[in-house]
Amino acid sequence: MKPYCFAKNGIIDSSAAHIHPMDISLIRGYGIFDFFRTSNYVPLFLSDYLDRFIRSAAKTHLNLQFSKPELAEIIKELIQKNNLENGGIRMLLTGGVSENHFSPSDGQLFIFCEDLLFPSQEKYEKGVKLLSVEHVRAIADIKTTNYAYPVWLSTDWKAKSAEDVIYHFNEMISESSRSNIFIIKEGKISTPNQHILHGITRMRVLELAPETEIRPISFEELLSADEIFITSTTKKILPITLVDDHKIGTGQVGSITKKLMADFVEMEKMHTS
Amino acid sequence: MKPYCFAKNGIIDSSAAHIHPMDISLIRGYGIFDFFRTSNYVPLFLSDYLDRFIRSAAKTHLNLQFSKPELAEIIKELIQKNNLENGGIRMLLTGGVSENHFSPSDGQLFIFCEDLLFPSQEKYEKGVKLLSVEHVRAIADIKTTNYAYPVWLSTDWKAKSAEDVIYHFNEMISESSRSNIFIIKEGKISTPNQHILHGITRMRVLELAPETEIRPISFEELLSADEIFITSTTKKILPITLVDDHKIGTGQVGSITKKLMADFVEMEKMHTS
C-alpha cells in the first residue's frame, strides 16, 4: 500500500483509512471496485475503467457521489503524491451501514495505490496452468467484490501448481477468477461471451485482433485448442499451456499469443508516451 | 446497533469499531460470520452457533484466536453491558489485510449486538411469498459473508412483494437466501440436503419432527406441496403460501406448520426459563 489514499472526501494517510465493520460491504460482501495500473505515471485506459466503475455503481444501486472528471482529478493527485510511476490503483465503493443489515445504503469511496505484482518472466515464457472448476458466477458482468469462492479455492489451485482456475458450467467455459480467456484453433481466435466480466484488457485484445469470434465455447473445445491465453490488468496477456493435466497444443507458448503479447506492449507504449 | 461491541481483544463503544478497508473481507468479500439471538437474556442455542462459527473459521483457513469458552465469556459480558433481553448477536471474523490482496491473513474478530427485526405477526398468520431464482450457492455449507447476489436480487423480490427467494438449480431446490426450507405433502415433512447451510433452527425443527425426510427435492415437488415453511434465526418458522404466483396448498397456513410453530415456542421457553 502506498502512503496516500483517498477516503472520506479527501486525501489522507493510507494507514489511517478505516470503515465501520457493520458496513454491508463487510457483513454482506456487497461492494464494487475497479483496478487499473499506471505505466510511466499514466493511468492506463483510465476512461474505460472509470466508465466501468460508474456502471458497476449504477447496476448495484450504489450512490457514487463523484463524477468521472472528479474521480480522474483525485487519481491524478494520488499518482503525484504517491510518485506512482508503475503501480496499481484500486477504487472501492462500499454498500454502507444499513438499518436492516442487508439493503444498500450510502457507502464510502476509497482509492488506494499499490505496488504491482506481475507474474514472473518465466511464466510469460513457458505459460502457466489453469485448474478447471465447475462453477458459474452470479452477476459476473458487474465488478463486485464477491471473490469469496476463488479465495477459498486458491489453496487448492496453489497446491496443484496452477496459476488460477477456469470456470465451466453445463460444458461451457466462461472465465478465470480474475481474467478473461481466449483460445486459438487453426489460426482463429475466439473468446466466450456469457457469464463474464467485460475486461478492459480483453477489450484491448479485441482491438488488436478484431477478427476474434465472440461466442460460446465448450470445455472440450478449450482442451483441443492450439493456444490459450488469459487477459487481465495485472496479467496483461498470459499464456496457458496446461489445463488440469492436459497439455494445450505443443505445450509451448504459441506464435499468435506471442505476437499479441508484443502488440500489446506496443499499444501500451503508444498510450503512455 | 447496541452501545457496546467486542473488537480488537476488548469491549469498546460500537461506534468506535473500525477496520482497514484493504482487509480482504472487504476487497474480496472473504470473511465469516454467525448470528444468534437472546431470548430473556439467554443466548439461544449458543453452543451450536459457536460450534458452527469455529467450523466456518477452520473451513475458510481463518485463524480464530479465541476458544469456545472465551467466546461464550465475551458474549455473556456483552449481553450484560448492552442489557440485551431480546436481541441479535453478530460474530464476524475477517480475512485480514493480505500482502497480495487475495490470500487470507490474520483477520479480526468483532461481536456486535443488535435490535432484532422479526417478520410482522401478519406474515406468520397469512404466510409469505418466495420468488424462485435459478442459482446454486458456492460453498453453501460455510457461513461466509458472501451475500452479494441476494442483496442485489432483493430490489427485485421486494418489487414483487416477496419475502425472499427460493434457489433452484437443475430442477432441484436448495434454500432461501438466509433460511432453510421444509415442505409438507400428505402429512410427510421433507427438507433438502444439498447446497444448503446447516441452519441451527433447521436442526431444532428436525428435533421437533424427527420423522422429517432429508433428501433431494425438486422444484416441481415444491410447487405441489400442501404446506411450506422456512426456518432461520430471525424468522424462526415462517409459513410460505406463495411461490412466484403459484398458490401453495389452500393458500392458508397449514396445520402441521402451525403445530411446529407452537412447538418451537415451547422449545424456546424450555431453553430460556
pLDDT digit string, tens, across residues B183-205: 999 999 999 999 999 999 999 99
Query: Measured between beta carbons, which residues in chain A are less than 8 angstroms from residue B21?
Result: 7, 17-19, 92, 94, 108, 110, 112
Residue carrying C-alpha cell 433438502: B192
CA distance B204 to chain A (A): 25
Residue carrying C-alpha cell 489485510: B97
CA distance B224 to chain A (A): 28
Rounded CA separation B257/A25 (Å): 35
Rounded CA separation A66/A78 (Å): 16
Residue B273 has pLDDT above 90, yes or no: no
Q: In terms of CATH architecture, what is A121-272?
A: Alpha-Beta Barrel (3.20)
Q: What is the pLDDT of residues B205-230, one digit of tens each?
A: 999 999 999 999 999 999 999 999 99
Q: In terms of CATH architecture, what is B4-114?
A: 2-Layer Sandwich (3.30)
Which residue of A6, A14, A27, A110 is the best one to mutate when testing the B interface, meaning the one whose CB has the most B CBs within 10 A? Answer: A27
**Model pLDDT, residue B63:** 94
Q: What is the ipTM of this complex?
A: 0.96
Contact: B29, A144; criterion CB under 8 Å: yes
Contact: A101, B110; criterion CB under 8 Å: no
Q: Per-domain residue ranges for chain B?
A: 4-114, 121-272
Please tell me which residue of chain A has the smallest CA distance to B35: A27
CA distance B145 to chain A (A): 5
**Model pLDDT, residue B112:** 98
Contact: A104, B151; criterion CB under 8 Å: yes
Q: What is the pLDDT of residues A3-21, one digit of tens each?
A: 999 998 899 999 999 999 9
Which residues, 6+ apart, have CB-to-CB distance to B26 below 8 Å? A19, A23, A25, A26, A31, A92, A94, A145, B19, B94
Q: What is the pLDDT of residues B155-169, one digit of tens each?
A: 999 999 999 999 999
What is the amino acid identity at position A26?
L
Range B126-150 average pLDDT: 97
